[in-house]
């Protein structure tokens, strides 16, 4: 149920969305005493790295709905595409296996148009190793642009359709209203007394769901961009509209409602930054908690900088969105 006014915490839908159970919820939420002392804020962490599903991560929440939909439609093969070290693909591969669905994906190391040609994660080990272990059909493309990768993914879906299979195509990163809904729902796992929630943001389902849930509350949601694309916010606005339709609410979010911070991307999407490596070491050496180099390391880098400058203060929740297998695909340790 919506909690009244324009406060959107709580969960309501126009009708039940198909769902399957993949993760252990609620994920832990606990205080980081030593890091709070270092940064001079009251710092908490939401442990979506500990979902108990396929090495953890935020995609498990979205997949409960996406794969629920696939199951409800009698799908036999799921096809998607993404970067070679995609956390989404690793969790999707595992989820399909759990449900007896064949999984196939086209992947590439980096999309050339936005990226430095070097410095990306390796195309072996890490998530790719886990994809291979669960038996996913992974096709590796030489670096190209996203449009070419998506066209390849469509061809792959056709390949399975030609075998008479019922194929379900999922967009990159699970960018869907159901994904945003999963994070709107996740917001009810934490009490509304935080001043800030900080998380990594890329395709936007996580940030959109949380921003919608905490709109008009005291809690401000800050997404740290992991993709250097200011125009992503246009897509968040559209996603929020669709989320609003799902929950049957009356909240319209505009560009001004999304705090999408582009300062900590570093060299580019999919490329580790010196700041993220520093953040990884700092949190590990202060609290024994690991972050990843592409998403959570960059987000925690931003959190540390903003806490030091006083830009964020009070009671802060760092939403740990997982991604840890990418640590084992770093191009070099000398970062």
The catalytic site residues sit at 86
Q: Which helix (H) or strand (E) holds 238?
A: helix 232-247
**The Cα angle at residue 130 between residues 106 and 71, in degrees rounded to 5:** 65
Q: Name the one residue in this structure whose structure tokens are 């956390």.
A: 87
What are the C-alpha distances in Å from 1 to residues 9, 106, 149, 247? 9, 40, 41, 9
* Residues 81, 171: Cα–Cα separation, whole Å: 7
Q: Closest separation between CB of residue 80 and ligand PLP, Å? A: 12
What are the C-alpha distances in Å from 176 to residues 31, 146, 184, 289? 31, 18, 13, 30
Q: Which is nearer to ligand PLP, 202 or 211 (CB)?
A: 202
What are the C-alpha distances in Å from 305 to residues 206, 283, 287? 22, 13, 18
Q: Which is nearer to ligand PLP, 204 or 302 (CB)?
A: 204
Helices 59-72, 87-98: axis angle to 10 degrees equals 40
Q: Closest separation between CB of residue 201 and ligand PLP, Å? A: 5
Q: Which is nearer to ligand PLP, 49 or 306 (CB)?
A: 49
* Residues 178, 91: Cα–Cα separation, whole Å: 16
Q: Closest separation between CB of residue 206 and ligand PLP, Å? A: 3
What residue ranges in 23-100 does DSSP mark as E strands? 29-31, 42-47, 77-83
Q: Closest separation between CB of residue 97 and ligand PLP, Å? A: 19
Measured over all CA atoms, what is the biggest interatomic distance in the chain, rounded to whole angstroms? 60
Q: Name the one residue in this structure whose structure tokens are 């595992």.
A: 94
Q: Which is nearer to ligand PLP, 160 or 298 (CB)?
A: 298
Q: Closest separation between CB of residue 120 and ligand PLP, Å? A: 15
**What is the contact surface with ligand PLP in residues (CB under 6 A)?**
57-58, 87-88, 173, 200-207, 292, 295-296, 321-323
Q: Closest separation between CB of residue 87 and ligand PLP, Å? A: 3
Q: Which is nearer to ligand PLP, 79 or 200 (CB)?
A: 200
Q: Which is nearer to ligand PLP, 160 or 282 (CB)?
A: 282
Q: Which of 170, 248, 239, 250 is nearest to 210 (CA)?
A: 239
């Amino acid at each position: 149920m919506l909690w009244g006014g324009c406060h959107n915490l709580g969960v309501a839908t126009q009708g039940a969305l198909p769902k399957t159970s993949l993760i252990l919820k609620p994920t832990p939420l606990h205080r980081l005493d030593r890091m709070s002392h270092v940064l001079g804020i009251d710092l908490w962490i939401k442990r979506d790295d500990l979902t108990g599903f396929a090495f953890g991560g935020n995609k498990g929440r979205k997949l409960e709905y996406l794969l629920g939909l696939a199951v409800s439609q009698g799908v036999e093969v799921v096809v998607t595409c993404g970067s070679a070290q995609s956390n989404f693909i690793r969790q999707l591969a595992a989820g399909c296996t759990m449900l007896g669905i064949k999984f196939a994906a086209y992947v590439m190391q980096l999309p050339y148009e936005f990226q430095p040609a070097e410095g990306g994660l390796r195309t072996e080990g890490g998530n790719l190793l886990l994809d291979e272990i669960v038996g996913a059909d992974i096709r590796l493309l030489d670096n190209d642009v996203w449009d070419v990768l998506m066209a390849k993914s469509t061809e792959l879906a056709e390949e399975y359709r030609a075998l008479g299979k019922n194929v379900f195509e999922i967009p990159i990163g699970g960018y869907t209203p159901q994904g945003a809904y999963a994070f709107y729902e996740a917001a009810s796992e934490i009490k509304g007394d935080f001043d800030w929630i900080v998380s990594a943001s890329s395709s936007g389902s996580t940030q959109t769901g949380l921003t919608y849930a905490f709109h008009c509350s005291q809690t401000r949601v800050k997404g740290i961009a992991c993709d250097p694309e200011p125009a992503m916010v246009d897509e968040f606005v559209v996603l929020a509209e669709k989320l609003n339709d799902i929950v049957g609410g009356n909240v319209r979010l505009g560009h001004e409602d999304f705090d999408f911070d582009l300062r900590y991307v570093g060299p580019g999407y999919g490329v580790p930054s010196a700041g993220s490596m520093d953040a990884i070491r700092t949190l590990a050496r202060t609290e024994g908690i690991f972050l990843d180099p592409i998403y959570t390391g960059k987000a925690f880098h931003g959190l540390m900088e903003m806490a030091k400058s006083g830009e964020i203060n009070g009671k802060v929740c760092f939403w740990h969105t997982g991604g840890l297998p990418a640590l084992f695909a770093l191009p070099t340790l000398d970062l």
